[in-house]
Amino acid sequence: MKQLLKQVSLAVAACGLFVAPVLATGTNFPVICPVGQIATRGVCAQPTPDQGLKLLLEGNRNFAKGNLLHLAVLSNPAVRKVLALGQHPYAVVLTCSDSRLPAEILFDKGLGEIFTVRVAGNVVAPHELGSIEYAIEHLGANLVVVLGHERCGAVKATYDTYPGEGEGNIGSLVKDIYPAVEAVLGGNPKPTGTAEKAAQVEECIVENIKLVSESLEAKSPIIKEYKELGKIKIFRAKYDLDDGIVRVLGE
């Protein structure tokens, strides 16, 4: 059945559409929807934030198993041609620039589904905030995921530098990650053991994800307004480099 659905999906993608995921009961047949929409009881519509998160996590499980299906379908040249006329992504993913974290691959998603903002340490400055605001206000995305990852080099560099400052342009990243390291250490000295240091860096990574997520509303009136009106949801998540799984840390 999965193979048949894949064949149908590829055939439909040749027309610039795709077989939409069905996230509610009521249909037992493939439903054809535009890119960025899902089928709920046979009707195509943009996924809700919770549905969008479910789609991302289901795709991530495909990736973790080495079974990328959706990405292949929505990389079809015909889909690319249709999307050249406009985009309507349902999710924004703010994540690290680490070469092991391409969001579309991690979530098994293709063209037109994810608006990705990448910067070392998944921090936010005006450029990143403006990008997220654009995706929400002008493209209609209703889900924001702040995605950090295990053994993040930017966080580790900040941890190793603490309480000093980074040099050059890298120093701007260190400055933005510094509050997470400071919160975890709490004024206490760093442990001396290698394993203990590594564990504390992971704590800093989680804290950094949390602080960045909270700062989206604090720094952006647009994001704050959309969240207060219930138009968007913001989730925190962390990617495991070893098993390939994205785990949600909270909302």
Residue 31 is predicted with a pLDDT of: 63
Set out the domains of the chain in order of their start, with CATH numbers.
2-250 (3.40.1050.10)
Give the pLDDT of residue 21: 52
Mean of the per-residue pLDDT values of the chain: 88
- The answer, yes or no, to whether residue 12 has pLDDT greater than 80, is no
Please report the DSSP string for 114-126 in residue order.
EEEEE-GGG---H
Q: Could you please report the per-residue DSSP string of 193-246?
A: SHHHHHHHHHHHHHHHHHHHHHHHHHH-HHHHHHHHTTS-EEEEEEE-TTT--E
Share of the chain above pLDDT 90, in %: 69
pLDDT tens digits for range 69-93: 888 777 888 888 888 888 999 999 9
- Model confidence at 165, pLDDT cuts 50, 70, 90, reads confident
Query: Is 200 within 8 Å of 193 (Cβ atoms)?
Result: no
pTM of the model: 0.88
What pLDDT band is residue 146 in, cutting at 50, 70 and 90?
very high
Residue pair 144/231 in contact by the 8 Å Cβ criterion: no
Q: Percentage of the chain surpassing pLDDT 70? A: 87
CA distance 199 to 190: 11
Can you give the pLDDT at residue 73?
Answer: 79
Listed residue (56, 37, 149, 152) closest to 104, CA to CA: 56
